Amino acid sequence: MLPSAEILHTAVGDIDIAYNTLGRSTDPPVLLISGLGGQLIAWDDGFCQELVDQGLFIIRFDNRDVGLSSHLAGAPGSDSTAATGVPAASYTLADMAADTAGLIDNLGLGSAHLVGLSLGGMIAQILAIEHPEWVRSLTSIMSTTGNDRVGHATEAAHALLLTPPVNTREGAMDRAVLGNRVVGSPAYRVEDTEVRDRAARAFDRAFDPRGVARQLAAAMATPDRTDDLRRLRLPTLVIHGADDQLIDVSGGHAAAEAIPGAELLVIDGMGHDLPQSLWPLFAERIAALVTRAEQQRARTEATR
């Protein structure tokens, strides 16, 4: 972990949020929102450093039910459907978006640039829809709109998502390797040893498959956001892999088409991960969006 990445905590209602910051607090704030089951360490230190080098102040945090943030007590909802085995939602993605807004408020930022990955992209979209005053710009990575006609997983990826959870460190590493082979970027392969190391660090830091199941239930219970996205008026960048097996690239196209003026960056050979060789490109594009949004914000404030 980077030297400046001390873990801090803040309360948002009944939820304790673990977070850390990187970079200078005087730079534009960029909040990174992790995907399903992803802890704040899922945003690699190297990727965060690329953003810091672009002059951005980075905030990473653990969503509720993962990492060092609050975990709900007990098992997921008992009225699971026999067909999917997915538990009934005990909270919504809107609740997770409210957690994010509370973190922005507690840090005294007023508003922030949002970068959401997969499930985190959905959360970022919902926060922009429900509380646009908190959002300066939106970057939605490998995510979708909630429309059930787009963003489908392949059969192999869907089966992986619904496979019963593991309960050992070795099992978590094996599952990560399998997951990478199914949904990882075919043109940017990661060595199994690196995948296993990342999974081991995540397991050692916090392990709660019930929490991941509750997050999945919240995602599956969330309605289509397309009409609401059409009403957004903020600088937006949509990034998606052309070879994403977990959320088909049609989900990215749908988001970019729905949000007025959104930029779309589709990467050939990229799957459902963030290949290291692409970090400089992503950082450059995110920073360009932030700069445009900051300039737009300054013009708006100057006319008041």
- The pair of structure tokens assigned to 123 is 């959360």
- Has residue 84 got a pLDDT over 70? no
Range 145-163 average pLDDT: 95
- Has residue 289 got a pLDDT over 80? yes
Residues shown for the chain: 304
Q: Is residue 95 part of a domain?
A: yes
Range 60-73 average pLDDT: 95
Tally of structural domains, the chain = 1
Higher-confidence residue: 20 or 163? 20
Average predicted confidence (pLDDT) for the chain? 93
Higher-confidence residue: 25 or 303? 25
CATH code for the domain in which residue 240 is found:
3.40.50.1820
Q: Is residue 2 part of a domain?
A: no
The pLDDT of residue 75 is: 52
Q: Is residue 3 part of a domain?
A: no
Range 227-238 average pLDDT: 98
Residue-wise pLDDT for 104-130, tens only, equals 999 999 999 999 999 999 999 999 999
Residues 179 and 158: their CA atoms lie apart, in Å, by: 11
| Residue among 140, 118, 147 nearest 244 (CA) | 118
Q: Residue 288: which region, alpha, beta or left (left: phi > 0; alpha: psi -120 to 50)?
A: alpha
Range 39-45 average pLDDT: 97
Q: Is residue 1 part of a domain?
A: no
What share of the chain in percent tops pLDDT 90? 88
Q: Is residue 279 part of a domain?
A: yes
Q: What values do phi and psi take at 259, rounded to 5?
A: -85, 115
Residues 31 and 2: their CA atoms lie apart, in Å, by: 17
Q: Which domain holds residue 162?
A: 8-302
Q: Show the 3-state SS of 97-162.
A: HHHHHHHHHHCCCCCEEEEEECHHHHHHHHHHHHCHHHEEEEEEECCCCCCCCCCCCCHHHHHHHC
- Has residue 83 got a pLDDT over 60? no
Does the pTM surpass 0.85? The reply is: yes
Please report how many Cα atoms fall inside a 13 Å half-sphere around the Cα of residue 125, on the Cβ side. Answer: 35
- Strand-pairing partners, residue 241, are 267
Q: Is residue 60 part of a domain?
A: yes
